[in-house]
Amino acid sequence: MGLVVACFAGSEVQAARPTQAEIDAVVERGLNWLAARQSGRGNWTEQNGQYPTAMTALAGM
């Protein structure tokens, strides 16, 4: 096992870089998700309708 680790210790694996179109699609999906969960008053709450200020602050992060 130590030999296997030693053989691959210097190698790096990199993921393929996403294209701008892929990034835009993911951002759009996230914005749509937020919009679908936004209340009619313009805020977000937790499941029982509590903590609108805290949940809205978290949604904006």
d(CA 60, CA 40): 17
Distances (CA, A) of 47 to 8, 52, 60: 47, 11, 18
In the chain, what percentage of residues exceed pLDDT 90? 28
Kindly state the percentage of the chain with pLDDT values over 70.
84
Confidence of residue 59 (pLDDT cuts 50, 70, 90): confident
Q: Is 52 helix (H, G, I), strand (E, B) or coil?
A: helix
